[in-house]
Amino acid sequence: MRPHDFGIHPPLFYDLSRLANTMLNSSLKQLSALLAAKKISSVELTGEFLKRVKALNPDYNAFITVDEKMSLAQAQAADAMIASGQARPLTGIPIAQKDIFCTKGWLTTCGSKMLSNFVSPYDAGVIERFNAVGAVNIGKTNMDEFAMGSSNETSFYGPVKNPWDITAVPGGSSGGSACAVAARMAPAATGTDTGGSIRQPAALCGISGIKPTYGLVSRYGMIAFASSLDQGGPMAKSAEDLALMLNVMAGFDTRDSTSLQRASEDYARDLAKPLQGLRIGLPKEYFVEGMSADVARAVEAAIGEYRKLGAETVEVSLPNTKLSIPVYYVLAPAEASSNLSRFDGVRYGHRAPEYIDLNDMYQKSRAQGFGAEVKRRILIGTYVLSHGYYDAYYIQAQKLRRLIAQDFAAAFAQCDIIMGPTTPTTAFALGEKSGNPVQMYLSDTYTIATNLAGLPGMSIPAGFGDNNRPVGLHIIGNYFAEAQMLNVAHQYQQVTDWHMRMPDKLTA
């Protein structure tokens, strides 16, 4: 079924037994219209998704925490908002929240043993914004520990499975959110992206996801990994859904010193704009050895569709792309070693049950509370910041970061949008790369540069590989070009149906 053929017929919704199947591919806009027309209540909608989570989560492990009582209470409040005429586009819509966002009264673990007993006393800025419009928190999603990983295998709560193939990874670190949307356990979800952690799992799970321009979404209450790189963003089935989510998530926050003070905008405003004359830049460094043949075929076919839509393609160059991964794995661990120093067993989080003195408590609490990948990055970060190595590694990486940003500036002088693959391969097998950190890091080879430059990037479904696992198309825009990127993605999704597909075993 193609997206423009898909329709919601209100009479179906009088029979709640038929709701479960019909709602799976309903857009946020369609669900909002049904709620506004009172064809269904938020309590009913939330209840159906909760039942689906209960049925599927044991197999996929997408959620760490589900609190039916709290979710239904929010749904009741949303129904009251709708009844009083105060509804907004996302009022009453269940949203899955990545477990990196502090959520008042909810266990907020960041996928770590270190925070396995932490119930947040306050809401992150992003959570506040969803609460203000009456959205419903359907649960907290699983993730790589402290967002450090590309496969969702570093979580203290176990790996998340890919709904298209449970022997494969869903991507990380926002793998739980990607899985929840792909398996239709939630209509949409939040994620965070430090080096590709929204876009890479979106690609591997066959959904859409966008990392906004750095500073567009508040980091207040978003547990920090690498502060100059971290950015929250939405994950959903389609570009249109992403636009509605970003309309809520984006905005200035005085509590976040990196938050950008800009006039609010409607990210859905240009969705219908034709693509005639759009200049798409194809970096020659992206279409080289390292990308699998099946991913290359899908990406090339997608670019062909854009040409049919009136876009033109030009070759551009990002010569410092090859330096992105080494630069990232100096800067991100350096910031992580600083940010994670607060987890010492004193104020909150895991504390070793037995210790001799304060120093022993620090050592044992951190040794027990952090997993192997987190420890690895703390050690790397501490090393590159240490006396004698700071100038040789950290300062040099910052200089190269500037060159990477300059490459993008030069490319955007020749084009409007940059395109390429989101990942070099489709989803790899669980355990395939967990013993080889370098191979794991290469999974983000196409996404990391945008974080280093602070640019917005997104991934949309663009077909399937030889193993019937999804392929993602990477779209990179200039600073604050989110509305244009969403337009570019939406127009593609009007003539293709990759974003509407879901695993056959989940359709019943």
Residue 18's pLDDT is what? 63
> Chain centroid to CA 49: how far?
20
Q: Which two tokens stand for residue 333?
A: 């661990």
Classified as helix, coil or strand, 316 is strand
Q: Within a domain: residue 446?
A: yes
Q: Within a domain: residue 324?
A: no
Q: Which helix (H) or strand (E) holds 476?
A: strand 470-476
DSSP codes joined into one string, 257-275: TT--------TTTTTT---
Q: Within a domain: residue 338?
A: no
Q: Within a domain: residue 408?
A: no
Sole residue written with tokens 């709290």? 70
Calpha distance 371→449 (Å, rounded): 26
Q: Within a domain: residue 129?
A: yes
Residue 13's pLDDT is what? 43
Q: What is the pLDDT of residues 81-138, one digit of tens each?
A: 999 999 999 999 999 999 999 999 999 999 999 999 999 999 999 999 999 999 999 9
Q: Which two tokens stand for residue 508?
A: 């019943």
- Domain total in the chain: 1
Residue 220 gets the label, from left (phi > 0), alpha (psi -120 to 50) or beta, of beta
Residue 14's pLDDT is what? 43
Residues of the chain with pLDDT below 50 are 1-14, 508
CA 272 to each of CA 222, 458, 484, 488: distance values in angstroms, whole numbers, following the listed order: 33, 18, 10, 9
> Chain centroid to CA 156: how far?
19
Q: How many CA atoms lie within 13 A of 439 on its CB side?
A: 9
Report the CATH number that the domain containing residue 490 is assigned in CATH. 3.90.1300.10
Give the catalytic positions in this structure. 98, 173, 197
Q: Which two tokens stand for residue 180?
A: 């929840």
Of 166, 103, 131, give the one whose Cα is nearest residue 431.
166
Q: How long a stretch of residues is the chain?
A: 508
Residue 64's pLDDT is what? 98
CA 177 to each of CA 112, 181, 240, 303, 359: distance values in angstroms, whole numbers, following the listed order: 16, 6, 18, 27, 37
Domain that holds residue 260: 27-281+414-501
> Chain centroid to CA 165: how far?
20
Residue 20's pLDDT is what? 61
Q: Within a domain: residue 359?
A: no
